């Protein structure tokens, strides 16, 4: 338990910056998402179908729902239908839970509501937190999810990184007042094989994926927010009218 906690703490530390990390608070990278950004949602849907749906389902999600983010039925059929036969079908996977368990040691969970369970920041940190670790079954480990059974499926894009520790020492040997006597062990993910994407491009891809997962967890949220806005405006007008009416009625009463 303690070890796990410590692991999570170290992981969060390591992620607070891509390279040298020296903060001590438990921190996830804030996901720069915007569920109104339709282009990003579409890119996320494409990435999800291409890279995640082989293993994970999003069974509460119908493919046809993708029309809500501006995709036509044709586009969905041509580009996004791999696992389901028809546009109206749910996003399911062909792989059985039992096979998955045998292959990976853990069944890939359904991702319909993972964004609500884990939060966008965790997902953003997790999908950017893979590193090579020869001691695990898959050869991958993750800063946000120690010894995760999921391999780094986007590694050709992000590249391969390894985890190293560097000792930072204040050159003057002075105590920096941080309680470590001027010496700090800093976790660092070092790139050993670059991927086909730059760090920025990869971050954008993950942002789109997380954006999509957040939207999938609550596809009505866009409409709900718009409706909510107008409901408040109408209520405001009604309050004003009621107040005017009251003034009119009580005008002659003294």
User: Can residue 113 be called a binding residue for ligand HEC (CB under 6 A)?
Assistant: no
Residue in 22, 68, 109, 162 binding ligand HEC, rule: CB under 6 A: 109
Residue in 90, 153, 162, 197 binding ligand HEC, rule: CB under 6 A: 153
Query: Which residues in 42-61 contact ligand HEC (CB under 6 A)?
Result: 51-52, 54-56
The encoded tokens of residue 203 equal 């971050």
Minimum distance of ligand HEC from residue 157's CB (angstroms): 10
Q: How many residues bind ligand HEC (CB under 6 A)?
A: 23
Cα–Cα dist 161/148, whole Å: 16
Whole-number Cα distances in Å, 69 to 52, 65, 192, 206, 211? 19, 8, 38, 18, 12
Decide: 121 and 113 in contact? Cβ < 8 Å: no
Residue in 12, 41, 148, 216 binding ligand HEC, rule: CB under 6 A: 148
Residue with tokens 């939060």: 119
Query: Which residues in 127-146 contact ligand HEC (CB under 6 A)?
Result: 127
Element (H, E) at 186: strand 183-194
What letter would DSSP give residue 108? P
Angle in degrees, 0-180, between the axes of helices 199-217 and 38-51, rounded to the nearest 10? 90
| Distance from chain centroid for Cα 166 | 28
CB atoms within 10 A of CB 149: 17
User: Can residue 118 be called a binding residue for ligand HEC (CB under 6 A)?
Assistant: yes
Minimum distance of ligand HEC from residue 19's CB (angstroms): 24
The encoded tokens of residue 152 equal 């780094």
Interface mask (CB under 6 A) for ligand HEC, residues 65-104, using x and -?
A: ---------------------------------------x
Stretch that binds ligand HEC, among 122-130, 169-177, 193-201, 218-226 (CB under 6 A): 122-130
Is the Cβ of residue 136 or residue 166 nearer to ligand HEC in the bound state? 136
Stretch that binds ligand HEC, among 10-18, 151-159, 218-226, 234-242 (CB under 6 A): 151-159
Decide: 211 and 34 in contact? Cβ < 8 Å: yes
State the number of CA atoms in the 13 A half-sphere of 65 facing the CB: 22
Q: Name the pairing type of β-strands 140-142 and 130-132.
A: antiparallel
Residue in 76, 123, 143, 189 binding ligand HEC, rule: CB under 6 A: 123
Interface mask (CB under 6 A) for ligand HEC, residues 196-225, using x and -?
A: -------------x----------------
Minimum distance of ligand HEC from residue 206's CB (angstroms): 8
Q: What is the per-residue burial (b if ≥16 Cβ within 10 Å, else e) of 77-101?
A: eeebbebbeebeebbebebeeeebe
Residues that bind ligand HEC (CB under 6 A): 51-52, 54-56, 104, 106, 108-109, 111, 114, 117-118, 123, 126-127, 148-151, 153-154, 209
């Amino acid at each position: 338990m303690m070890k796990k906690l410590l692991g999570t703490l170290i992981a969060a530390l390591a992620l607070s910056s891509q390279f040298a990390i020296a903060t001590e608070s438990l921190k996830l990278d804030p996901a720069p998402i915007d569920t109104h950004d339709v282009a990003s949602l579409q890119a996320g849907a494409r990435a999800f179908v291409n890279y995640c749906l082989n293993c994970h389902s999003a069974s509460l999600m119908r493919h046809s729902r993708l029309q809500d983010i501006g995709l036509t039925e044709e586009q969905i059929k041509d580009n996004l239908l791999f696992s389901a036969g028809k546009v109206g079908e749910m996003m399911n996977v062909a792989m059985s839970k039992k096979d998955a368990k045998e292959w990976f040691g853990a069944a890939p969970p359904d991702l319909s509501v993972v964004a609500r369970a884990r939060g966008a920041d965790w997902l953003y940190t997790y999908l950017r937190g893979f590193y090579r670790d020869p001691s695990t079954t898959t050869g991958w480990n993750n800063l946000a999810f120690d010894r995760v059974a999921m391999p780094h499926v986007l590694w050709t894009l992000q590249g391969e990184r390894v985890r190293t520790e560097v000792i930072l020492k204040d050159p003057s040997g002075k105590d920096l007042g941080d309680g470590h006597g001027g010496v700090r062990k800093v976790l660092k993910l070092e790139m050993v094989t670059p991927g086909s994407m730059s760090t920025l491009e990869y971050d954008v891809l993950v942002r789109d994926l997380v954006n999509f997962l957040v939207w999938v967890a609550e596809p009505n949220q866009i409409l709900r927010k718009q409706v909510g806005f107008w409901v408040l405006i109408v209520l405001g007008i009604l309050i004003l009218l009621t107040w005017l009416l009251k003034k009119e009625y009580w005008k002659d009463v003294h």
